[in-house]
């Protein structure tokens, strides 16, 4: 698993956003994986996820604090986490400032509709070329539409690993675009769900807030985070 950590972006959030803006302004095709322990656990058992995580052209950032702490245990310096929702917000701001185009794929239709309204109010100069909810049957067909539209920013909210696999398998067909799998971020960005209070964000406890709000997440947390720590301890030894 250490090879996944070697691939992680090792700069600060501020440095990353400077690089992100440069890539967006230059039309540089970029695939960003916002990784947490679950992503690395998938990489251990799924060959496609493993391949995309290790691909030299993929940018992998530590979305989860679990990765930052695990990296420290392995003597790898990851200064801070870079949450996917922060990346999405920065891309919206950068896109608004420079009048870029965007495609939104994922979540429920009502969430997308609310997000479209919010973007229209808060980022009026970004152009939404299209959007599609995550419940469409033929997701590859959606990517064919995205390919035709050639947006500058593509946010895919289908959850790990579906969103990452879909992006990775279609990436070669594109000449440009910043592609990011953003999980449940559309719910928060649209205002449909509230993000954790500032205390939880500041102390890297958003995971605890989510579990408190949705206790059904406990089993998933155990399968991907507790088992992950056991693997890291084993790796360290």
Cα angle value 69/202/227 (rounded, 5°): 30
Query: Looking at residue 63, what is its pLDDT?
Result: 93
Res. 228: pLDDT tops 90: no
Query: Looking at residue 224, what is its pLDDT?
Result: 60
The listed range with the strongest mean pLDDT (63-67, 199-203, 204-208) is 63-67
Res. 222: pLDDT tops 60: no
Q: 153 - beta bridge partners?
A: 102, 178
What are the φ and ψ backbone dihedral angles of 195, each rounded to 5 degrees?
-75, 160
Query: Looking at residue 231, what is its pLDDT?
Result: 75
SS3 13: helix
Res. 225: pLDDT tops 70: no
Tally Cβ neighbours within 10 Å of residue 85: 20
Res. 208: pLDDT tops 90: no
Locus of tokens 């990436």: 171
DSSP assignments along 182-229, one per residue: -TTHHHHHTTSSPPPPHHHHHTT-HHHHHHHH-TTHHHHHIIIIIHHH
Please give the average per-residue pLDDT across 89-102, as a whole number: 98
Question: What pLDDT, in 10s, does the model give residues 127-177?
Answer: 999 999 999 999 999 999 999 999 999 999 999 999 999 999 999 999 999
Task: Name the band, by pLDDT with cuts 50, 70 and 90, for residue 178.
Answer: very high
Domains of the chain, by residue range, sit at 2-195
Q: Counting beta carbons within 10 angstroms of the beta carbon of residue 31, is it exposed (0 to 12), middle (13 to 18) or buried (19 or more)?
A: buried
The listed range with the strongest mean pLDDT (5-9, 203-207, 217-221) is 5-9
Please give the residue that has the higher pLDDT: either 26 or 227. Answer: 26
Task: Name the band, by pLDDT with cuts 50, 70 and 90, for residue 64.
Answer: confident
Res. 218: pLDDT tops 70: no
């Amino acid at each position: 698993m250490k090879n996944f950590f070697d691939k992680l972006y090792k700069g600060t959030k501020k440095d990353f956003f400077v690089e992100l803006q440069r890539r967006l302004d230059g039309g540089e095709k970029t695939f960003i994986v916002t990784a947490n322990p679950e992503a690395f656990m998938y990489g251990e058992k799924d060959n496609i996820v493993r391949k995309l995580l290790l691909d030299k052209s993929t940018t992998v950032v530590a979305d989860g604090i679990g990765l930052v702490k695990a990296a420290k245990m392995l003597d790898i310096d990851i200064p801070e986490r870079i949450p996917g929702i922060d990346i999405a917000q920065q891309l919206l701001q950068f896109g608004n400032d420079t009048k870029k185009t965007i495609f939104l794929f994922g979540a429920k239709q009502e969430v997308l509709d609310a997000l479209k309204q919010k973007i229209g109010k808060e980022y009026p100069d970004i152009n939404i070329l299209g959007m599609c909810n995550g419940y469409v049957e033929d997701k590859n067909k959606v990517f064919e539409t995205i390919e035709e539209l050639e947006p500058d920013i593509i946010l895919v909210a289908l959850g790990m690993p579906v969103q990452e696999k879909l992006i990775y398998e279609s990436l070669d067909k594109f000449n440009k675009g910043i592609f990011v799998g953003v999980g449940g971020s559309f719910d928060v960005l649209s205002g449909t769900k509230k993000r954790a209070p500032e205390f939880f964000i500041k102390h890297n406890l958003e995971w605890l807030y989510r579990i408190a709000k949705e206790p059904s997440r406990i089993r998933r947390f155990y399968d991907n985070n507790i088992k992950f720590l056991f693997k890291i301890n084993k790796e360290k030894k």
